Chain A
Amino acid sequence: MTFRREVARRIFAREFRESSHIIKGDDRYSPQYLLTPTGARCNRIFVVGTLLEKEDRGDGEFWRIRIADPTGSFSGFIGRYQPEALNSLADLEPPQYVAVTAKISVFQGETRTLPSIRPEEISASDSLSRDLWVIETARQTLNRILAMEALSTEDAKLAREIYGTDTSIYREMVRNALEIIKGELEFDREVEKDKVEEKVEKKVPGDEIIEDLEKFLEEEEFDLSDI
């Protein structure tokens, strides 16, 4: 029997946090899915964000983590059953950019259900990967929103029925996330420009030595040809 590997879906933290509906398979061996308010059906997700916290909840063998994106944060747990991630977590110190591939689990609380992530692998990342992730996640979320507004997929219909999703809220979430990335890119460009201007004005170290030398020579009236 060959198993099809589950795709890692792209979901913003806020939408993830607002998800509560589990789709179970026919038998207990079938994979479980979390249906999100815009109709993503996910068993696994991929996130690039900022590791905000790692908290030891059990002698270094059970950690609670929190990873932020521009819309909110993902709560997660890493334990002995995720040896790769447990091993990698040792080298990570918040705050820092991380990339995470994670399975989804859902806690059934008394008042509500809380989705969380169980990282299979976690590793240091960078701001470029974070920006690429936000844009990719924005595009895929927007596609789901458009499908929901047109009621063109079964999962969109189901999600609207369950959550009564107001898509304008999620459009705003996507827009805000994109604006943040756009703002940062513009800021980075300004910084780059400043750096270039600074370079032009700033004398290279060699110039200073020669200047000092010239001053020294003027004072002492040495013959340059001796040097």
Chain B
Amino acid sequence: MMDDHVRRIRSRFESAGYQIDEDEIRRRLNLLINEFKVPVNEAVRSVTNYFLKELDLSPDKLVAKRESPEVKISEIDEPGRWVTVRVKIVQLWESESENISQVGLAGDETGTIKFVIWRKSGKPSVEEGKSYVFSNVVTDSFMGRMQININKLSEIQEIEEDIQVASSQIEIVGALVAIQSNSGLITRCPECNRVLSKNICPEHGKVEGVYDLRIKGVVDNGESVFEVILNEENLKHLTGMDVESAKKMAEETLDRSSVLDYLKNLLFGRYLKISGARLGRYLLVNQVDFITSVDTEELEKLLEVV
């Protein structure tokens, strides 16, 4: 608790270009809070003012510099920077670790970047498709790619503005060569949208799951692999099945896995044309269609060359 306030005061001065001694901050805060029982926010203000006077700084200098600079995603190119970004949540991924509250992809008009909201930050959940200002987030590099970390000192504020997201759109044709078992008719936590197993959310405990339909799979063209998620809209377009008809099928067969078997039959090994944004292992599906006929021109061309 105390350490956080010490660090916050130190970093406010640091981002204005001044180094102050943490021990000195702690000693003064301790005196006011524990000896004089001054409310914490009053103590913080008082200590901040003390150092402003010491350094002969006007408070507005500190206020102006307090926020980390607002940058575009394409400008993020080195780790360890405190920045502010205005982004839209493009996709949420399943958390890889207990220490991570949410992980996913955020974007602005210059590009996309992975974001990690650490559980310790105590921040409320963000939602796919909504736009936010992430203030005071720290840039980091993980396996050669840039990401941003949302920690205790960061702020997340939802905004009305609909941020446009740039993406490197690609189009591929390939076969759906794998379908993961956590596909088909699934349930999600109504609070945080996580996929549930046995109606238990790791964060919100036992909840009434909300039904959703998806296929997590791999599209492969013999040269590259792309991990894809086909959502309800994609699946309805391809197979005609939606959440309602999937629920009906599960009820009639008394078996939720019958939905996955049905979808597998229609989709496994089929050739698909997908346009979307490539991000590392993932291809974020924008449009997906079956290949419905043989390209006879290509067939003739191959026969000429061979």
Contact = CB atoms under 8 A, between A and B. Distances in A.
A124 B265 contact: yes
B171 to A, nearest CB: 16
Nearest to A139: B302
Interface of B: 143, 175, 177-179, 181, 218, 220-225, 227, 264-265, 268-271, 281, 291-296, 298-299, 302-303, 305-306
A132 B268 contact: no
Interface in A59-87: 84
A20 to B, nearest CB: 22
Contacts of A131: 294
Contacts of B227: 5
A178 B227 CA distance: 30
A191 to B, nearest CB: 15
B218 A181 contact: no
B298 A182 contact: no
Contact of A7 (B181, B224, B265, B291): B224
Given A129-B270, A135-B298, 15 more contacts: A7-B220, A8-B175, A46-B269, A98-B269, A101-B178, A121-B268, A128-B291, A128-B292, A129-B269, A132-B294, A136-B222, A137-B222, A175-B306, A181-B299, A185-B296
A136 B294 CA distance: 10
B305 A46 contact: no
Contacts of B296: 185
A174 B306 contact: yes
A63 to B, nearest CB: 18
7 residue pairs, one from A and one from B, having the closest CB atoms: A99-B269, A123-B268, A10-B222, A101-B177, A175-B306, A8-B220, A132-B271
A128 B302 CA distance: 18
Nearest to B295: A135
Contacts of B218: 5
A182 B177 contact: no
A57 B232 CA distance: 41
B220 A135 contact: no
A140 interface: yes
30 contacts: A2-B143, A8-B222, A9-B222, A10-B222, A46-B220, A99-B269, A101-B178, A101-B269, A121-B177, A123-B265, A123-B268, A123-B269, A125-B270, A128-B292, A128-B293, A132-B294, A135-B298, A135-B302, A136-B221, A136-B222, A137-B222, A138-B302, A138-B306, A139-B298, A171-B306, A174-B306, A175-B303, A178-B306, A181-B294, A185-B296
B302 A178 contact: yes
A5 B302 contact: no
A98 B302 CA distance: 25
A46 B221 CA distance: 10
B246 to A, nearest CB: 19
Interface of A: 2, 5-10, 46, 48, 84, 88, 98-101, 120-121, 123-125, 128-129, 131-133, 135-140, 142, 171, 174-175, 178-179, 181-182, 185
A38 B268 CA distance: 28
Nearest to A138: B302
A134 B19 CA distance: 68
Q: Which of B265, B298, B302, B305 has the most CB of A within 10 A?
A: B302
A175 to B, nearest CB: 5
Contacts of A88: 264
Contacts of A121: 177-179, 268
A70 to B, nearest CB: 13
Q: Which of B178, B298, B305, B306 has the most CB of A within 10 A?
A: B306
A221 B284 CA distance: 73
Contacts of A138: 302, 306
A189 B295 CA distance: 14
A11 to B, nearest CB: 9
A178 B303 contact: yes
A100 B303 contact: no
B177 to A, nearest CB: 4
B302 A142 contact: yes
Nearest to A176: B306
Contacts of A129: 175, 269-271
B299 A178 contact: yes
Nearest to A135: B299
Given A101-B178, A123-B264, A131-B294, A7 B306 contact: no
B124 to A, nearest CB: 29
Contact of A46 (B181, B222, B281, B292): B222
Contacts of A179: 303
B304 to A, nearest CB: 10
Nearest to A171: B306
Nearest to B290: A128
A164 to B, nearest CB: 21
A48 B269 contact: yes
